[in-house]
Structure 1
Amino acid sequence: MRRLALEAGDKIMEIYESDDFEVKSKSDASPVTEADEAADALISAGLRDAFPDVALVTEEQADSHTQDVMTFLIVDPLDGTKEFVKRRGDFTVNIAYVEDGVPTRGVVYAPAKGRMFYTTATGTSVEETGAFDKETVGETTPMKVSDADNSALMVVASKSHRDEATDDYINKYQVSDSKSAGSSLKFCLVATGEADLYPRLGRTMEWDTAAGHAVLSGAGGRVVRFDDHTPLAYGKPEFANPFFIAYAPGVELKEG
C-alpha cells in the first residue's frame, strides 16, 4: 500500500507540474482530472494483484460502490481534487483496509507537501521522512495524539468546505488556534498532535476518510458520529458518511 501510494504520487505530480491538465465534472458535479484516473488505474491494478481475494472499493469506479461488504480495501486515488485543480498542494493519496467495519490499516501520502503517514504491521501509526524510496522504508517517527488542553484547543477544519454550521460548532469550544487544511491531512494533523479536534459537518464518503481514520486510530485518536458520538463505522450503504468528529481523546466533546 505504501509503495502504490508513492507510485501514484509520482504520477499525480507529473500531471500537477505540467502546463495544463483537463478537468471534467462527474455526475455529482465534483471535479475529476486525468491525475485521479491515472492514479486510480495504477493503485487498483496493484491492489488486485496483491490482494485478489479482498473486495476493492474506489471512488473512481462507480460499479464498486454497490457492494455490500464489511471487510474491504478502499481507495481515494486523489483526495482533494479541488486543491489539486487550484494548485494549492493540500491533496493526498488515500489507501485503507477495513476489517469488519473498522479501518485498521491506512496510508495517507501528500506528494506536493512531502508528507507520508501510515499504520505499521502492528497497527500503530508513523510519519516517514526522507526521499521516500519505493522499496526501502526511510526514517519513521511514531505518531501520538496531543494531551489536549480544553481551555486552549487547536482545531483544524476543511479548507474547501468550511461553513457557518462548522464555525458555530467550533465556537462551543475554547480555541487557542484554528487552521484550515484540505483532504485527509486533517486527520493526520490530529494524529501528529498538531491539532486536537477536527469536526466535519458536511458530506463525505468512506474513501475520503478511511485511511486518515486508520492513521488517527493508530496514533491513539478517535472518530465518532456527530449525532450520537458512537464510533464511525464503515461498509455503510453506498459508502456514505454522516457528519463526524475526529479528535484526541482528551477533548471534552460538545453536543452539536
Structure 2
Amino acid sequence: MTYDDLIPVIRKLALEAGDKIMEIYDADDLDVKVKSDDSPVTEADEAADALISAGLRAAFPDVMLVTEEQSATHDTSGTTFLIVDPLDGTKEFVHRRGDFTVNIALVEDGVPTRGVVYAPAKGRMFYTQADGQTVEETGALDKDNVGDVTLLSVADSDNSALMVVASKSHRDQATDDYINKYAVKDMKSAGSSLKFCLVATGEADIYPRVGRTMEWDTAAGHAVLTGAGGKVVRFDDHAPLFYGKDGYANPFFIAYAPAVDLKPA
C-alpha cells in the first residue's frame, strides 16, 4: 500500500459514508441504542462502519483494521494499522447539531501519518495528501473527482490572545481550570474531531482534552493537524501521543499550534 493508493480510497469512502449517514440523519426517527460502555450507537454508526470496513478490506486486505464498532474483535498485535470511527460525535448526531464526522486514518509505528475527517452536515472535508500536507477540499465534493483544495497551516499564535476550542459535549471544570492558565482572546465549542481541524486551519490555537477518548476518536484528526504543522502531546508530560496502546484508550492530551507556549498540567 502506498500513500498514492490510500488517499483516494479513504477520501471516497468518507464521502460515501457521509451520504449514508445523512440519509439516516434526515429521516424522521433515529433509532438510538446503548452500548456496553453506556455510549450511544445508531443505525448510522453501524451502516457507515460496514461500508468503510468493506471498502478498506477490499482495497488493503493485508493491513490490520481497527474500527470503533468492531471493538470486540480488535487485533492488538500491530503498530501499523488503519483505524476508523465511522461516526464521531454520535451525541451531536442524535441531537441534530451537525458537529459529527467520519474519521479514517493510517497509523504507522504508533504515529498517525495520513487521515481524512469529513463533516457531512457541514460540508467540510479535511485530509492529508499523499505528500503528507493537509488540505481542506471545498465545492461539490464529488466522489470521483477532487475539487478545489486549500493547503492548511496552523496559526502563528499570539500567546497574549489565544483562540481556544473545547468539547461541546464533554466540557468540565478540569478543562476550564487548564484553559484559565492561558491568556484567552476567545473560545469556541465544537463536537467530534472537528476540534483538531479548527487548529489545523488556524481558526483555533489550542485544544486541550481532559477527558476520556479512544484512538479511533483522535487518529484522523491527529494526522490532519500534523499535516498542517500542529502537534498532539500527552497532557501530563507533553510527550508525543502514540497509538496502538492497550485497549486503544488515550490519556488526556493537548492539540496545539507549535507557537503556543504550553502550560504545565
TM-score, normalised with respect to structure 1: 0.99
Query: 1:249: which partner in 2?
Result: 258
Query: 1:82: which partner in 2?
Result: 91
Give a deviation string over 1:131-177, Cα, whole Å, max 9, x none: 11101100000000000000000000000000000000000000000
Q: 1:208 aligns with which of 217, 222, 231?
A: 217
Equivalent pair of 2:199/2:230 in contact (CA under 8 Å)? yes
Equivalent pair of 1:68/1:237 in contact (CA under 8 Å)? no
Query: 2:157: which partner in 1?
Result: 148
Q: 2:193 aligns with which of 179, 184, 191?
A: 184
Structure 1 unaligned segments of length 5 or more: list them: none
Equivalent pair of 1:97/1:106 in contact (CA under 8 Å)? yes
Q: 2:24 aligns with which of 10, 15, 21?
A: 15
Deviation at 1:65, TM superposition (A): 3.1
Equivalent pair of 1:58/1:64 in contact (CA under 8 Å)? no
Equivalent pair of 1:92/1:111 in contact (CA under 8 Å)? yes
Query: 2:39: which partner in 1?
Result: 30
Give a deviation string over 1:63-85, Cα, whole Å, max 9, x none: 34352220000000000000000
Structure 2 unaligned segments of length 5 or more: list them: 1-9
2 CA distance for matches of 1:203 and 1:64?
Answer: 21
Equivalent pair of 1:56/1:64 in contact (CA under 8 Å)? no
The CA RMSD over aligned residues, in Å, is 0.6
Query: 2:115: which partner in 1?
Result: 106
Query: 2:7: which partner in 1?
Result: none
Query: 2:62: which partner in 1?
Result: 53
Query: 1:227: which partner in 2?
Result: 236
Q: How many residues align?
A: 256
Equivalent pair of 2:214/2:248 in contact (CA under 8 Å)? yes
Identity of aligned residues (%): 80
Give a deviation string over 1:90-137, Cα, whole Å, max 9, x none: 000000000000000000000000000000000000000011110110
Matched to 2:255, the amino acid is A
